[in-house]
Structure 1
């Protein structure tokens, strides 16, 4: 899960952990992410600091996730709204394409409409 330290991403991470899922979650600032998520059962949460525009950062986070959990079943790309797809590393887009299920989430603050 990208963009997991605030808003919809954080809510989803908390809900998944509460329901017993193992979650690898990313943010630009790992300390903010850890603080926002709070205490969780050991082995259930992997906080990662990732820059989605840098292939090496994405590769490291994917490798660490496989090392910790053995697999990635679902990827949620939360911060894609407001960033051009060109700004996101092709490595991340390839990861999304390789998974059986992934979601791109786009929520705008103070928006009264679901779609533009």
Structure 2
């Protein structure tokens, strides 16, 4: 983990679903390079603990449900009040409450998945656009998944929502150019509580399928998000960066 060295980048990021896991890893990376950050999440206590670890002098938190439009408004307003700007938005909040075939999926559950994973991302993007980015520029990073760019048996609703995130990235990149760059990251399995069911009790077996020999870490996605919100990526927009430990290299093998 890279630690904050005292440099102030002058930039501000809003990261949804960042009290732990991938979102927290992204927050770590952006704080380390000198950004000020607002993190969101559902659990206030978990958010407080995250702020303490990240540094309460540079990080604030707003608790709420990502799909709640009032929460979206409050979060963006709070960033603007605290820091006066919001250069970067990272849409990481997501849910995957069901495991099974799409043919038997409750449509109410499908709607919930899309509300949390896709509609909330659009809502946050609209608000950061009007609050700051429309007139001042910036970047948006949407956290998609390799489930959104390939078949994803038994987590089909999640995969569908992440495919929608990839297309949302394209649409926003087109509409918000040239001032705002919009890209996505599509991770494979990352070692988080969210993905625990995919590797718990069989991590070595799961990791063996990856050419790079291990599952992902939140810091892997943090590094990718740091790049996509940096000047080094200023000619990159509308792209989905697959961060998968090489797992796609095995497609069709066997």
Q: Secondary structure at the match of 2:90?
A: strand
Q: Does 1:105 align with 2:120?
A: no
Q: Do the aligned residues in 2 keep the contact of 1:55 with 1:90 (CA within 8 Å)?
A: no
Correspondent of 2:46 among 19, 23, 32: 32
| CA–CA distance in structure 2, aligned partners of residues 13 and 54 of structure 1 | 22
Structure 1 position 29, deviation (Å): 1.1
The corresponding residue for 1:72 is 86
Structure 1 gap segments, 5+ residues each: none
Q: Secondary structure at the match of 1:79?
A: coil
Q: Does 1:91 align with 2:133?
A: no
| CA–CA distance in structure 2, aligned partners of residues 21 and 61 of structure 1 | 17
Give deviations 1:85-104, integer Å, cap 9, x for gaps.
Answer: 24x27532413555431011
Structure 1 position 15, deviation (Å): 2.1
Superposed, 1:7-26 pairs within 5 Å as: 7-26=21-40
User: How many residue pairs get matched?
Assistant: 114
- TM-score, normalization by structure 1: 0.78
Using CA pairs below 8 Å that are at least 6 residues apart, which structure has the higher relative contact order?
Answer: 1
Q: Does 1:49 align with 2:63?
A: yes
Structure 1 residues 97 and 6, CA, compared in 2 at 3 Å: closer, same or farther?
A: same
Structure 2 gap segments, 5+ residues each: 1-14, 97-112, 145-186, 190-194, 199-205, 211-242, 249-254
Q: Computing the radius of gyration over CA atoms, which structure comes out larger, 1 or 2?
A: 2
Give deviations 1:13-62, integer Å, cap 9, x for gaps.
Answer: 122222221001101112202213434152x1111112221111111111
Structure 1 position 8, deviation (Å): 1.3
Larger helix proportion of the pair: 2
Structure 1 position 5, deviation (Å): 1.1
Structure 1 residues 32 and 64, CA, compared in 2 at 3 Å: closer, same or farther?
A: same
- TM-score, normalization by structure 2: 0.39
Which aligned runs of 4 or more in structure 1 are off by greater than 6 angstroms?
none
Q: Say what the alpha-carbon RMSD is for the aligned residues.
A: 2.8
